[in-house]
């Protein structure tokens, strides 16, 4: 009998060890947004030191206070958006200055402006593309260079959407296009960086409550129609909540996902299954 067959590996003996992230350092863009805040709190609760970046100092400070109230991982704040490579480098350097390392990059910043193509200004379309694609490229370039230079087997997590796979006739030419590009960026970075042990994945939710989707919960006719149509396509019969995304994110940012890369993980209540 092969003696190895009787050896119980550590992941089998202690499966929760696969999710051990305490002591690591995460850089989170969009840190004051719905998903960025959730990631900062969840990671910090597990002992990760988090650097949160965003455009609103007041909102960042509020999230930082919430992180500190957990009494676990430390928090560092940098007021910045990835509008240029210099901005991305400044976020990276702030995290390195605060904690001496970066292990996880969460690109959670984003933007949407709905509008039918025949009515939409080009500048509005470009603003969505810049926020959702160009900014992600800058962050990946900056932190990826650090990972490679320091031989860090980093974890990169991008925010996509079911709209990267499905169209929408409610004026989403900018958003759908940007998320399709996010999916492609996820796959190409995963293949490009696999040789360095860096994993790159994306979460693709359906509609969930956030600052980005607030327009759908008011009296706006377009928003109400979009909400109703979205609910009709979700087999589980409800919109997503930010807590629904945390489990998948922790998997993709922990050793549990070391053999998972280049994937767009749909957290959508069954939307893409139907």
Nearest partner of 95 among 25, 154, 30, 24, judged by Cα: 25
In terms of Cβ atoms closer than 10 Å to its own Cβ (0-12, 13-18, 19+), residue 24 is buried
Return the CA Rg of the chain. Answer: 19
Please give the Cα distance from 73 to 51 (Å, whole number): 10
Provide the Cα torsion 274, 172, 129, 247; round to 10°.
-40
200 bridge partner residues? 156
Please give the Cα distance from 63 to 69 (Å, whole number): 10
Please give the Cα distance from 268 to 239 (Å, whole number): 8
79 bridge partner residues? 54
The secondary structure of residue 72, as a DSSP letter, is S
Task: Tell me which of 111, 146, 175, 271 is the catalytic residue.
Answer: 175
Question: 155-159 and 104-107: which strand pairing?
Answer: parallel
Q: Is-contact 113 215, C-beta < 8 A?
A: no
Does the active-site annotation cover 146? no
Rounded to 10 deg, the angle between the 173-193 and 135-149 helix axes is 10
Catalytic residues: 175
């Amino acid at each position: 009998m092969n003696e190895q067959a009787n050896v119980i590996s550590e992941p089998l003996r202690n499966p929760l060890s696969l999710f051990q992230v305490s002591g690591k350092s995460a850089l989170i863009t969009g840190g004051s947004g719905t998903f960025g805040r959730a990631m900062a709190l969840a990671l910090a609760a597990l002992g990760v030191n988090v650097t949160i970046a965003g455009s609103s100092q007041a909102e960042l400070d509020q999230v930082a206070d919430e992180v500190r109230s957990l009494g676990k991982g430390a928090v560092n704040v940098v007021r910045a958006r990835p509008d240029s490579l210099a901005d991305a480098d400044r976020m990276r350097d702030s995290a390195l200055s605060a904690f001496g390392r970066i292990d996880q990059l969460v690109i959670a910043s984003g933007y949407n402006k709905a509008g039918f193509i025949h009515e939409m200004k080009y500048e509005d379309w470009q603003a969505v593309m810049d926020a959702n694609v160009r900014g992600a490229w800058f962050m990946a370039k900056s932190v990826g260079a650090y990972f490679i230079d320091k031989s860090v087997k980093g974890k990169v997590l991008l925010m996509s959407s079911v709209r990267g796979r499905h169209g929408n006739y409610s004026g989403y030419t900018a958003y759908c296009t940007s998320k399709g590009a996010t999916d492609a960026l996820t796959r190409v970075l995963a293949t490009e960086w696999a040789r360095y042990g860096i994993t790159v994945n994306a979460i693709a939710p359906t509609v969930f409550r956030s600052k980005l989707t607030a327009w759908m919960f008011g009296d706006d006719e377009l928003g109400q129609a979009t909400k109703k149509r979205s609910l009709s396509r979700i087999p589980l019969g409800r919109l997503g909540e930010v807590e629904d995304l945390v489990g998948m994110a922790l998997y993709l940012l922990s050793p549990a996902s070391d053999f998972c890369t280049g994937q767009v993980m749909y957290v959508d209540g069954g939307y893409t299954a139907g």
